Amino acid sequence: MSELKNDRFLRALMRQPVDVTPVWMMRQAGRYLPEYRASRARAGDFMGLCMNPEMACEVTLQPLERYPLDAAILFSDILTIPDAMGLGLHFETGEGPKFRKRIDTLADIEALPIPDARKDLGYVMDAVSTIRRELNGRVPLIGFSGSPWTLATYMVEGGSSKDFRKIKAMMYDQPEAVHLLLDKLAQSVTSYLNEQIKSGAQAVQIFDTWGGNLSADAYQQFSLAYMRKIISGLIREHDGRRVPVIVFTKNGGLWLESIADCGADGVGLDWTMDIGVARSRVGSKVALQGNMDPTVLYANPQAIRNEVERILASYGKGAGHVFNLGHGITPEVDPVHAGVFIEAVHEFSAKYHDPNAVVAQG
């Protein structure tokens, strides 16, 4: 594997000195880019894009051709694991993900297999190794998975949900059944992320999109406990380097201290939390990732620059900040505005760092 030419993203996650604050965007390969829409049309559908390693590589690299991003993130979907468990993932235009089979009973959960990540999700590993080869050390590659709770919500609801009433009713009525489901998912996610690391992912992120919809007690029991279990089972050194882990719970700011204690190197923040306040609460225990409101990208370029400057000032001097949006970039954003955002992070952040910091290390 080639040496990294730009490792400031990995260094920031390890709270080591950097020259400028690294930046990447959740969903940076996606529908806001015309070149992505063209690739998806060629692939036929979303899963066709995910399951073709060469095309997944192509769309992963598209934003890096446009912008000076500090990391690439694997192009895939969080629901690949439930699909590999036999639930039949498909996407309906305008409706998001759906499953042909829904989890409804304890018997359904007991019958679920734990996928062999290498065999059943080999197309993801092939995409990871292809992307890593094509990056040729330009920037690090991030692998990812959904959290067990987030995956379980889709599996029990059968798709997206506004109120999560099926999974929450099951959680309160049959907690042992939901714990069994989450345990199977935690085992699956651990092996899935470890295979991504073996295939070339240099950092991994766990997306806990729906953890913030739980009560404080339920979050600890049904979401955070299983992310902690996953992290304890992950490969943390590979290719002679530390493999950092980021946990992102949307709407998880209330539980920041608990999340910072889960074993992750970085904690992702949504835009409802002031990053300076978050830093004062967790100190130097973890790096912080985030956290500009994605809708700021609809504003004029000067407003975008102002907001970037405000967030950098709130975090303050020193390492341990990876700039990102507080959730994924949305499809209607003008790609020019995304460029303004990324360049502003590098331009305004230099004064918060040591100008003699090492950018890359072999």
Catalytic residue annotation? 27, 31, 40, 77, 154
Q: Give the C-alpha distances (Å, rounded to integers) separating 9 from 117, 181, 267, 320, 351.
A: 27, 34, 14, 10, 17
**27 labeled binding residue:** yes
Q: Is 145 helix (H, G, I), strand (E, B) or coil?
A: strand
Residues in the chain: 362
**28 labeled binding residue:** yes
Q: Tell me which long-range contacts 286-289 makes (C-beta under 8 A, separation of at least 24).
A: 286/260, 286/320, 287/12, 287/13, 287/14, 287/15, 287/244, 287/319, 287/320, 287/321, 287/322, 288/315, 288/320, 288/321, 288/322, 289/246, 289/248, 289/321, 289/322, 289/323, 289/324
**327 labeled binding residue:** yes
Pairing of strands 89-92, 96-99: antiparallel
Residue 239: both structure tokens together: 């290719």
**84 labeled binding residue:** no
**154 labeled binding residue:** yes
Look at the block and give the residue holding tokens 């529908």.
Answer: 31
Q: Is 354 helix (H, G, I), strand (E, B) or coil?
A: coil
**209 labeled binding residue:** yes
* Stretch (H or E) spanning 203: strand 203-208
Residue positions in the annotated binding site for substrate?
Answer: 27-31, 77, 154, 209, 327
Residue positions in the annotated binding site?
Answer: 27-31, 77, 154, 209, 327
